[in-house]
Amino acid sequence: MKREEPLFDVAQLAHLEIYSPKIEESVVFFREILGMSVAAREGKSVYMRAYEDHYHNTLKITDHHEAGLGHLSLRATSPNALERRVKELEEKGYGIGWIDGDIGHGPAYQFKSPDGHLMEIFYEVEYYEAPEEEKTKLLNRPQRRPNIGVPVRRLDHINLLASNPRETVEFLEALLGFKVNERILDEDNNDIAAWTSVTNLAHDIAVMGDALGEKGRLHHICYWYGYPQSLTDVSDLLIERGFEIEVGPLKHGVSQASCLYVCEPGGNRVELFGDAGYLIFDPDWKTVEWKGEDLQKAIIWHGASELPADFFRYGTPVREEKVAAMAGQAPIEEETEDIRA
């Protein structure tokens, strides 16, 4: 399903919506631990941003009976690009329809991935305007660095769980122009996971096979620090505030990024990037493929001996009964060749 010519109609991952059954606790986590600010509240939703996010908001947290992904949002490169993507999504049968917009952006066209993840694409956006007390003399930064928590700087990426990762990856490639920069393959060359982007980052959207066979779940969202030392600083803060770090700090082989993982109070997994890993500028970049004996180093280059087994089973919405039923299965070093994550 790859295109012969590159497709540049999608500019970036613009914002995310997550569901939380403990919305106020989730807001406190993102505000007091990660230093994000509340940009707006409306209905059952709270809109938040990191201090180097240039748009009005990049995270929408919505009160819901269970955790999970509400939607992910992409910004088109132009109004014409938006029209082209909408036309093709409609023709291929993935479209849902237009919404008038939301706080921070104009009209958006909603559609679903083959696995059922709700997505939208828009062009018109509201840029953040800091109040006087939050303005900075650093003119290329939208606001002052917050003095609360260990502040993240910007939205980085999202990682989706999918029952058929190859199908979702091909959808991202063919209809939205994402490039597959790295992938983990099983012995039959099926996708275990893939890392895709429309920017110079190693990934904007990652797709992992869902070990529980579920559809449309979320593995994690990620915000970026830019300095690995920030991971040590936030680790102290998390531990002293009673949060359990799932794993890390560590360095991935895939993306080469320093990171850690923790679940916010609503149950959604959050990854924190200490740096950007490597950047890609080569238009002829050849997809890096990891398999066999290289697999373990793809996941952990250094900093931890292994990931917890539930790392590949836990996602949101949570399916505790399935995770519990699989708890006695092989540890990760035996499981890696059969991960659907």
* 281 is a domain residue: yes
CA distances, 87 to each of 92, 124, 175 (Å): 9, 18, 10
* 54 is a domain residue: yes
**Coil, strand, or helix at residue 121?**
strand
Contact 184, 82 (CB under 8 A): no
Q: What share of the chain is helix, strand, coil (3-state, %, to 5)?
A: 20, 35, 45
Give the chain's radius of gyration (CA, Å): 19
pLDDT of residue 37 exceeding 80: yes
The pLDDT value given to residue 335: 42
* 323 is a domain residue: no
* 267 is a domain residue: yes
Pick the more confident residue, 326 or 9: 9
Distance CA 20, CA 267 (A): 7
Name the residue among 73, 71, 61, 72 with its Cα closest to residue 20: 61
Distance CA 30, CA 46 (A): 11
Distance CA 91, CA 94 (A): 8
pLDDT of residue 293 exceeding 90: no
Distance CA 318, CA 267 (A): 8
Would you tell me how many other CB atoms lie within 10 Å of the CB of residue 147? Answer: 7
Determine which of 5-9, 170-174, 258-262, 292-296 has the lowest per-residue pLDDT on average. Answer: 292-296
Mind listing the pLDDT tens digit for each residue in 176-210?
A: 999 999 999 999 999 999 999 999 999 999 999 99
Distance CA 47, CA 58 (A): 8
State the DSSP string of 138-172.
-TTSSSPPPSSSS---EEEEEEEEESSHHHHHHHH
Instruction: Give the β-pairing of 154-162 and 205-209.
Output: parallel
* 137 is a domain residue: yes
Mind listing the pLDDT tens digit for each residue in 328-338?
A: 444 434 444 44
Mind listing the pLDDT tens digit for each residue in 38-68?
A: 999 999 999 999 999 999 999 999 999 999 9
pLDDT of residue 341 exceeding 50: no
Mind listing the pLDDT tens digit for each residue in 225-277?
A: 999 999 999 999 999 999 999 998 999 989 999 999 999 999 999 999 999 89
How would you label 255-278 residue by residue, b for 16+ Cβ within 10 Å and e otherwise?
Answer: bebbbbbbbbbbbbbbbbbbbbbe
Average pLDDT score over the chain = 92
* 154 is a domain residue: yes
Percent of the chain at pLDDT > 70 equals: 93
Contact 178, 205 (CB under 8 A): yes
Pick the more confident residue, 297 or 206: 206
Q: Domain of 301? A: 10-312
Structure tokens at 158: 């999202």
pLDDT of residue 327 exceeding 90: no
Distance CA 316, CA 333 (A): 24
The pLDDT value given to residue 108: 98
- Say which CATH number the domain at 128 has: 3.10.180.10
Distance CA 159, CA 157 (A): 7
* 321 is a domain residue: no
Distance CA 75, CA 283 (A): 21
Structure tokens at 301: 């280059």
State the DSSP string of 79-103.
HHHHHHHHHHHHHTT-EEEEE--BT
Structure tokens at 139: 């003119």
Can you tell me the mean pLDDT for 143-157? 97
Contact 291, 186 (CB under 8 A): yes
pLDDT of residue 285 exceeding 80: yes
* Most distant CA atoms of the chain, gap in Å: 58
pLDDT of residue 123 exceeding 50: yes
Domain count within the chain: 1
The residue behind tokens 């490639």 is 173
pLDDT of residue 81 exceeding 70: yes
* 337 is a domain residue: no
